[in-house]
Amino acid sequence: MPANPVIAQFGQHAVPEKIEMEMAERGWNDPIWKQAIRFVGQLAQGNLGESFARQGEKISTRLSHAVPATMELAIAAMMIAVPVGIGIGIVAALWRNQWPDWISMGLALVGVSVPVFFLAICLIVMFPTMPSGFRLPPGTQHSMSTDFYFLESLFTGQWQITAKCIRHLILPATALATIPLAVISRITRNSMLEVLDSDYLRTARAKGASMFRMILRHAFPNASLSVMNIVGFQLGMLLTGAILTETVFNWPGLGRYVVDAIRDYDYAVVQACALVISAIFVTLNLVLDVLFLVLDPRLREGNRS
């Protein structure tokens, strides 16, 4: 495969002079250090460059469409994965080594093992009446000013658009939620088992505390830190591009944008997407660290000492 995007665009039999002219115009014949300095200088001005495969298209403009699409899909998937995964994990911990535990962990194993693209295709076949592509039906007229279709339509009262967004989100969000749901359920089960064996919960049971109060008031808050950690990690993985899901469902998100750029040898787009992905992970880690300090007083006490 040609590593030079100019050769990829013009073909292996292109005129060498034309290739050299294009390389010189873009500065790709300069030393690597000079290209790196130029790239950092443009980045400091907020300029991510232009797409090579799509002449004249600003990368920042395309990212402003792709990132909101991926964010809405990832958040919808986590809204399925988090409550269901936590619920399954709690049930499995309370009835450990019994049939609810075996069924829950068996389903979690299946959720991790089944390839996402295969599950996505199965969902399309099983529910042929549900939308299986795009964020909205083609030709839909709307007056939204951002690419957060669902959120903006919800807050502005465009209920028909909101309903269409939900219908188009159901299948891809369900397919995307399977792996984080399985991981969250297993982590929740393990964390709850550690807490349920603690002395203070035995004391609470001895004092006659109800199971519901014991779980919500004592057990889960202490087990939630491990769960929150894995939720943040899984959300970061989804936000950086659900490549297979977006490809199967023709979802115009960040993952599909990266795949198209790699296929077209569009290195400027790949660089910009790598920066966005890194920024997402760094931001999520920072938010999680702050939340840990807020929720766990032991960490604050450790910092003071």
Residue with tokens 């890194």: 278
The residue count for the chain: 305
The amino acid present at 294, given as its one-letter code, is: V
> What's 131's DSSP letter?
-
Sign of CA dihedral 58, 60, 64, 67: positive
> What's 214's DSSP letter?
I
**304/282: higher pLDDT:** 282
- pLDDT, one tens digit per residue, over 236-274 is 888 776 788 888 888 888 888 888 888 888 888 888 888
Residue with tokens 């014949």: 29
**Residue 302: which pLDDT band, with cuts at 50, 70 and 90?**
low
**Tokens in use for 270?**
């790949």
Which CATH code is given to the segment(s) 71-195+211-304?
1.10.3720.10
pTM of the model: 0.84
What CA dihedral angle connects 228, 234, 235 and 240, to 10 degrees? 150
Maximum Cα–Cα distance across the chain:
86
Q: Are 208 and 168 in contact (CB under 8 A)?
A: no
**Residue 301: which pLDDT band, with cuts at 50, 70 and 90?**
low
pLDDT of 79 reads: 92
Domain ranges of the chain: 71-195+211-304
Q: Report whether pLDDT(12) > 70.
A: no
Q: Are 149 and 56 in contact (CB under 8 A)?
A: no
What are the backbone angles phi and psi of residue 296, rounded to the nearest 5°? -115, 105
Please give the angle made by the CA atoms of 228, 278 and 49, to the nearest 5 degrees: 150
Mean pLDDT score across all residues of the chain: 83
SS3 250: coil
Residue with tokens 């996505």: 120
pLDDT of 237 reads: 80
